[in-house]
Amino acid sequence: MPVNLAAVDLGASSGRVMLAHVDGGASQLNLDEVHRFWNGPVRLGDTLHWDVLALYREMLVGLRQARSVDGVGIDSWAVDYGLLDADGRLLGNPVHYRDGRTDGAMERVLRSISADELYAVTGLQQLPFNTIYQLAAERGLERAATLLMIPDLLGYWLTGEVGAEATNASTTQLYDVRARGWSAELAGRIGVPEGLLPGIREAGQVIGGLLPAVAEETGLDPATPVIAVGSHDTASSVVAVPAAEEERFAYISSGTWSLVGLELDEPVLTAEAQAANFTNEGGVDGRIRFLRNVMGLWILQECLRVWGDDDLPGLLRAAAEAPAFAVLIDPDDPSFLAPGNMPGRIEEFCARSGQEAPRSRAAVVRCVLESLALAYRRTLRLAQEVAGREIDVVHVIGGGSQNELLCQLTADACGLPVLAGPVEASAVGNVLVQARALGEPLPDLTAMRALVRATHKLRPYRPQGKPADWDAAESRVFGTR
């Protein structure tokens, strides 16, 4: 029986509500965008916030425009959260992970919990904005009764039901990746009040029906189920990787961030994995997303914002003709994390590294994309070494899969074929999990991915150029190991 589903898909710079028609038996999967809206930081005083109330409002607008649906699922970025008081009221707008309040928080936590212990329990990449460090920097935590990650908070406002979906919980650095539940030991040692972290729910679990006020505002049936999906958008994206059953694949979920890695059955918690700063995040159906965060297209997005230039296609055409390897940066340098004058920061990086700064906008774009491709190459080679897993193909999914120059540079840098698509990977993965929960014949990830392959056109890229040129470029940026 085919189903119509609403996917609320929230990224770090925009949100959207997608309407999907899924018929697993007839190999049909159609997506239409019914509402798109801006999302981004709001600075109030000296703090950078998310405008979560605006996100809730826009979600309701999108659900109203979707009209009658059989289910609703919500996915978003990771690590950020809202705090509720004992009466279930939001204590304040959630703080943005790029806010400076976590400056020094990692160092303070690591004085009481060693990095080795943290990795042995959580298997997470050390990032200064991980939830554990945000909580260590939180003021007034004693006033809070419940912590909800962003998708869980929005789901609570739709249904009144409290819980923590596992894939997003696994990004907090408070989640035991082997026991697949919260680590009360770690939470207690950073002063997290007992009971703050709600019960874990798995992707595919029905959260509940709509509250009467929500049903009235959206026009949806109150019995419409809200379904827990892979609520970390990357978890949903990886569901939609169109890999064949026996394919040895890597994925790059490419957007504001690039999530670069492998899908494994068990976490890799070795000293080598820790030293390489790989993360073991939970995936749908108990899989492990063994990956590293790479800064991603954020750098290019900030350049475009500063330039006030919306002609990205023209810049990409010019960048494709610009000299190769003229200027290279490390995309993960901390100077590129916060919002600001990104072209100026690239110039500063060049000055520090003894390079002449790029002289044109096209040269800046070429610099950013080549540098990202180098970071992907380095990350995937490390992933294969540390996990003991060889790969034959790289799947680029998400918005960045539309960037033809980046996809070709990625194939060239990695020396592997690249398959690009689907663009709407997080929304696709979202609705596939919903469809299965509602009885569609999609019993496992293999069946879901087969449906993606059958319904989406993928763009192939074959490696070109000389591997030695990329070897030399990598040594310029990262040195030799």
Neighbouring C-beta atoms of residue 247, cutoff 10 Å: 14
Helix (H) or strand (E) holding 300: helix 298-307
Convert 102-128 to b/e letters by CB count within 10 Å (16 or more is b).
beebbeebeeebeeeebbebbbbbebb
Q: Residue range 203-223: average pLDDT? A: 98
Q: Which segments of 151-257 are extended strands (E)?
A: 164-165, 175-176, 181-182, 200-201, 206-208, 226-227, 249-254
Task: Convert the pLDDT of each residue in 257-298 to its tens digit.
Answer: 899 999 999 999 999 999 999 999 999 999 999 999 999 999
Cα dihedral sign, 137-260-406-364: positive
Separation of alpha carbons 121 and 183, rounded Å:
8
Separation of alpha carbons 310 and 315, rounded Å:
9
Instruction: State the pLDDT at residue 478.
Output: 87
Instruction: State the pLDDT at residue 309.
Output: 83
User: Which percentage of the chain shows pLDDT scores above 90?
Assistant: 94
Separation of alpha carbons 262 and 218, rounded Å:
39
Separation of alpha carbons 478 and 481, rounded Å:
9
pTM for the complete prediction?
Answer: 0.94
User: Which percentage of the chain shows pLDDT scores above 70?
Assistant: 100
On the question of pLDDT at 96 being above 60, the answer is: yes
Angle at 183 between CA 200 and CA 429, to 5 degrees: 40
Separation of alpha carbons 285 and 265, rounded Å:
10
Per the CB < 8 A criterion, the answer to whether 424 and 18 are in contact is yes
In three-state secondary structure terms, 267 is coil
Task: Convert the pLDDT of each residue in 426-450 to its tens digit.
Answer: 999 999 999 999 999 999 999 999 9
Instruction: State the pLDDT at residue 192.
Output: 94
Q: Residue range 451-467: average pLDDT? A: 97
Integer-rounded Cα radius of gyration of the chain: 22
Lookup: tokens for 128: 């200064």
Residue 176 is a catalytic residue: no
Task: Convert the pLDDT of each residue in 323-379 to its tens digit.
Answer: 999 999 999 999 999 889 999 999 999 999 999 999 999 999 999 999 999 999 999
On the question of pLDDT at 217 being above 60, the answer is: yes
Separation of alpha carbons 237 and 449, rounded Å:
11
Q: Residue range 317-323: average pLDDT? A: 97
Separation of alpha carbons 137 and 122, rounded Å:
20
Q: Could you tell me the pLDDT band of residue 40, with boundaries at 50, 70 and 90?
A: confident
Instruction: State the pLDDT at residue 480.
Output: 52
Q: Residue range 1-19: average pLDDT? A: 95
Lookup: tokens for 212: 């009467």
> Of 15, 8, 14, 30, which Cα lies nearest the Cα of 451?
30
Task: Convert the pLDDT of each residue in 373-384 to its tens digit.
Answer: 999 999 999 999
Q: Could you tell me the pLDDT band of residue 481, with boundaries at 50, 70 and 90?
A: very low
Separation of alpha carbons 451 and 449, rounded Å:
5
Instruction: Name residue, tokens 């899969």.
Output: 401
Lookup: tokens for 120: 């042995």
As a whole number, the mean pLDDT across the chain is 96
Instruction: State the pLDDT at residue 479.
Output: 79
Helix (H) or strand (E) holding 147: strand 146-149
Task: Convert the pLDDT of each residue in 175-186 to its tens digit.
Answer: 999 999 999 999
Separation of alpha carbons 435 and 227, rounded Å:
10
Catalytic residue among 75, 80, 99, 233: 233
Per the DSSP assignment, residues forming a β-bridge with 438 are none
Helix axis angle for 404-414 and 312-321, nearest 10°, is: 40
Q: Residue range 394-399: average pLDDT? A: 96
Neighbouring C-beta atoms of residue 353, cutoff 10 Å: 14
Phi, psi values for residue 318, rounded to 5°: -65, -40
Per the DSSP assignment, residues forming a β-bridge with 14 are 38
